[in-house]
């Protein structure tokens, strides 16, 4: 029988401090040892940052496999499906925080969602820290120390340090693109990806997004091909396909119901769309990912 992948909240991970403050930080090895019965794959209702310091393994995020090794930092937004396949020698720093953790601190409630690695489409789920390793290690150490304190300011200091980390990582992702194609192109692409995240269920044509971005469809397509190597239409379809995969493996709904949820005219059209871009039918994909 098909079983849904479970969705965990911070509270369900049994950390008393996190249930109050919507934030928790762990040594990865300790977290794994304390949660040996944790079911994978699963999804979260919170944001997660994982930084690998020792060992190796595989981190599967939204059906894509990534190498887990020292210097790799992983970012998960709420709703993404993931699985850890780690060796016994793995270690690192794990940070969980809810959207509420920053809601009373930032005037812009979309601030966290606007970071490229938290868009949720998986395009930057993995970031290699490389030359920023010393900075990242020190900052994470500072956050761990603050987490152990109980004064009135320690949570705000943690928030500031996390925002420092996120902005440095976001700059790290953006700079190579900005330098080669120009900052304006990079900004327009990020805005396009954010719009896709908001409207992929109802808007499927590049011209609809181009109108919202106040650029021409040809210009939008040129930006996507230069930076991403694919058309604007393909980026939209990729997001629809990702949501289809999530629903297929995390829902007991039939193909017809899922096609309606994804705003397809009928299940035959949805099935043709899925097979064209995934190579197998929705039924075959669901069966291959079925938890028995």
| Per-residue pLDDT tens over the stretch 118-170 | 987 877 899 999 889 999 999 999 999 999 998 889 999 999 999 999 999 98
Crossing angle (nearest 10°) for helices 154-181 and 217-227 = 100
84 and 200 housed in the same domain: no
Which percentage of the chain shows pLDDT scores above 70?
A: 91
Instruction: Provide mean pLDDT across the span 245-268.
Output: 91
Phi-psi group of 233: left, alpha or beta (phi > 0 → left; psi -120 to 50 → alpha; rest → beta): alpha
Q: Report pLDDT digits (tens) over 257-283.
A: 999 999 999 999 999 999 999 999 999
CB 274 within 8 A of CB 281: yes
Residues in CB range of 194: below 8 A, 6 or more apart: 113, 114, 119
44 and 175, same domain (yes or no): yes
Q: Are residues 150 and 14 in the same domain?
A: yes
Q: Which strand (E) or helix (H) includes residue 197?
A: helix 183-199
Report the SS3 class of residue 252. Answer: coil
Domain termination site, one of 132, 147, 179: 179
Structural domains in the chain (count): 2
Tell me the CA distances in angstroms from 159 to 25, 66, 106, 233, one per residue in order.
Answer: 12, 28, 10, 37
pLDDT of 1 > 60? The answer is: no
Domain housing 127: 7-179
Which of 161, 179, 197 marks a domain boundary? 179
Identify whether residues 109 and 97 lie together within a single domain. Answer: yes
* Nearest CA-CA partner of 82 in 119, 114, 116, 38: 38
CATH code at position 192: 1.10.10.60
Which residues face 66 on adjacent strands? Answer: 59
Phi, psi (deg, nearest 5) at residue 216: -80, 155
1, part of any domain:
no
N-term to C-term CA, the chain: 6
212 lies in the same domain as 165: no
**Same domain flag for 56 and 101:** yes
Strands laid side by side in the 7-8 sheet: 7-8, 42-44, 81-86, 57-61, 64-68
One domain, residues 42 and 160: yes
Residue 154 domain flag: yes
**How far is Cα 165 from Cα 108, in angstroms, rounded to an integer?**
18
pLDDT given at position 16: 57
**Residue that the structure tokens 């500072």 belong to:** 142
Task: Report the mean per-residue pLDDT for the chain.
Answer: 89
As given in the structure block, the two tokens for residue 159 are: 């928030």
Name the β-bridge partners of 85.
58
Q: Can you give the pLDDT at residue 2? A: 41
Residues 161 and 258 in one domain: no
Q: What is the dihedral of CA 199, 123, 120, 180, to 10 degrees?
A: -70
Residues 269 and 214 in one domain: yes
Cβ–Cβ under 8 Å, residues 65 and 41: no
2 in any annotated domain? no
């Amino acid at each position: 029988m098909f079983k849904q992948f479970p969705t965990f909240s911070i509270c369900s991970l049994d950390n008393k401090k996190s249930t109050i403050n919507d934030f928790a930080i762990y040594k990865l090895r300790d977290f794994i040892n304390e949660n040996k019965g944790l079911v994978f794959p699963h999804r979260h209702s919170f944001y997660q940052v994982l930084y690998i310091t020792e060992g190796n393994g595989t981190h599967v995020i939204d059906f894509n496999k990534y190498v887990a090794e020292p210097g790799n930092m992983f970012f998960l937004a709420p709703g993404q499906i993931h699985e850890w396949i780690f060796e016994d020698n793995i270690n690192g720093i794990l940070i969980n925080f809810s959207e509420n953790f920053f809601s009373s601190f930032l005037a812009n409630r979309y601030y966290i969602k606007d970071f490229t690695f938290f868009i949720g489409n998986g395009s930057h789920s993995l970031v290699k820290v490389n030359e920023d390793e010393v900075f990242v290690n020190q900052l994470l150490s500072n956050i761990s120390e603050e987490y152990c304190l109980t004064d009135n300011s320690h949570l705000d200091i943690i928030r500031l340090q996390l925002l420092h980390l996120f902005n440095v990582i976001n700059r790290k992702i953006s700079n190579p693109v900005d330098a080669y194609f120009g900052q304006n192109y990079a900004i327009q692409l990020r805005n396009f990806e954010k719009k896709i995240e908001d409207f992929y269920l109802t808007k499927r044509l590049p011209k609809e997004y181009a109108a919202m971005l106040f650029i021409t469809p040809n210009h939008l397509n040129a930006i996507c091909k230069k930076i991403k190597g694919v058309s604007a239409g393909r980026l939209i379809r990729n997001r629809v396909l990702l949501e289809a995969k999530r629903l297929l493996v995390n829902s007991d709904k039939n193909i017809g119901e899922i096609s309606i949820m994804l705003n397809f005219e009928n299940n035959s059209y949805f099935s043709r769309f899925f097979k064209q871009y995934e190579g197998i039918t929705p039924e075959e994909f669901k069966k291959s990912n079925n938890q028995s």
